[in-house]
Amino acid sequence: MDYAQSVINRLKRIEGQIKGVLGMMEEGKDCREIVTQLSAARSAIDRTMGVIVSSNLEQCVRESVEKGEGTEHLVKEAVELLIKSR
């Protein structure tokens, strides 16, 4: 599967957030600030996983429809992936 540049950019921003948290820890910042930043990074990761799964689902459904195949199993698999990621 090809990943959109927007998804790659999201992950690069998350990488920057994590590096920022490491810097905060090295500076001895307050734990509340660190936890807040980690929570923001986790939320960004969750949203990115949703984007990846939905993009993949869209592509797979399109291919299945073109082949005349059913798509129910694809939707079920996507939902299971999202549930598993929680």
| Residue-by-residue pLDDT tens, the chain, 86 positions | 778 999 999 999 999 999 999 999 999 999 999 999 999 999 999 999 999 998 888 888 888 899 998 888 888 888 888 888 77
Measured distance between the N- and C-terminal CA atoms of the chain, rounded to whole angstroms: 23
pLDDT at 60: 85
pLDDT at 39: 97
In this structure, the number of other CB atoms found within 10 A of the CB of residue 26 comes to 8
Name the residue with tokens 């999202």: 82
pTM above 0.85, yes or no: no
pLDDT at 58: 86
In this structure, the number of other CB atoms found within 10 A of the CB of residue 54 comes to 12
Among the four given CATH numbers 3.40.50.10800, 3.90.950.10, 1.20.58.1000, 3.30.460.10, the one describing domain 5-84:
1.20.58.1000
